[in-house]
Amino acid sequence: MALFLSIGDFSRATHMTIKTLRHYHDVGLLEPADVDPSTGYRRYSTAQIPTAQVIRRFRELGMPLEEIRTVIDAPDIGTRNRHIAAHLERLEDELGRTQRAVASLRALLAPAAGAAPDVSLRELPEMATAAITEIVDMVDGAAWMQGALGELYATVAGQGLAQTGPAGGLFSEAIFAEHHGEATIFVPCDGPVRAVGRVRPAQVPAAELAVLEHTGPPIESDLAYGALADYVSRHALAVQGPIREYYLVGQRDTPEVGRWRTEVCWPVFRVGS
């Protein structure tokens, strides 16, 4: 037979503050077993302690209250585990981003002595591509890029065309200066693509480029951009034109973002040998 505890005793039993317990009552996540209608005093059943402990553990893992409610109300163990697994995957993604950020900060604070960026200079010809061009907000850039790539890959394959090189992107100055501007994602292919949905045929212009490879998701390539800009300022003549990226390894190839590789390309006018 379950016994009743005052809100103070239940707080001590579950390591939840009284303020938190009142909030969970207000939002319907953990309602008291009994509320005195005249005094408003809350009483909890000892049988509610395990539920409270589960809620506290999930909150410590950063799970939103609505997701906790979904887990607790799940009709079966399989459904419950799927919700928990989805949250754990998000935690692992966040941990990966944190670890990469820590590594980047350490590299900034203590750069390797004598380390120089492995920059190459290339001259690329004009190429036929299937492309999507839109005005994009930087905050939506990663999601927009992955969606555009998926649409482009599907369109090229669906029209029986062969991809002739790595997918890439062209980014206007406004994207960097104002975090809002024109962006193009393209996939080189061996024939003119028919316009479908957002996809259009496009000729990516020839260019002379200084190129530096970045490992990790493209959205975290700021260190590569900085090193490339420094190199260009010392060893080449920068020219006007969109920044270019090529996605050598990405989401399509592996879910492990630490293995993604992106070439960052700065337009230059090459001189000397």
pLDDT of residue 226: 85
Neighbouring C-beta atoms of residue 119, cutoff 10 Å: 19
Half-sphere exposure of 14 (CA within 13 A, CB side): 29
The DSSP annotation for 178-207 comes to TSEEEEEEEEEBSSPPPPBTTBEEEEEPPE
In CATH, 120-269 is 3.20.80.10: yes
pLDDT at 74: 86
Q: Is 4 exposed, middle or buried (0-12, 13-18, 19+ CB in 10 A)?
A: middle
Instruction: Give the chain's length.
Output: 273
What is the model's pLDDT at position 204?
A: 96
What pLDDT does residue 216 have? 86
Output the CATH code of domain 4-73: 1.10.1660.10
pLDDT at 108: 58
**Torsion, CA 199, CA 203, CA 204, CA 208, rounded to 10:** 180
CA contacts within 13 A on the Cβ side of 196 = 14
Paired with 5 in beta bridges are 44
Residue-wise burial string across 197-218, b where 16 or more C-beta atoms lie within 10 A, e elsewhere: eebbebebeebbbbbbbbbbbb
Which residues are CB-contacts of 55 (< 8 A; sequence separation ≥ 6)?
A: 16, 24, 29, 30, 68, 72
The pLDDT assigned to 115 comes to 56
Instruction: State the residue for tokens 């890029």.
Output: 145
CA angle 148, 150, 152 (to 5 degrees): 70
Region of 138 (left: φ > 0; alpha: ψ -120 to 50; beta: rest) is alpha
Tens of pLDDT, residue by residue, the chain (273 residues):
568 889 999 998 888 899 999 999 999 999 999 998 888 899 999 989 988 998 988 888 888 899 889 888 888 888 888 888 888 888 888 887 777 767 666 665 665 555 567 899 999 999 999 999 999 998 898 899 999 999 999 999 999 999 999 999 999 989 988 999 999 999 999 989 999 999 999 999 999 999 999 998 887 788 788 888 888 888 888 888 899 999 999 988 998 888 999 999 999 987 655
Distance CA 175, CA 137 (A): 7
Is the pTM value of this prediction over 0.75? no
Task: Report the pLDDT value the prediction gives residue 112, as an integer from 0 to 100.
Answer: 55
Q: Could you tell me the residue ranges of all domains in the chain?
A: 4-73, 120-269
Q: At what angle do helices 49-60 and 7-14 cross, to 10 degrees?
A: 50
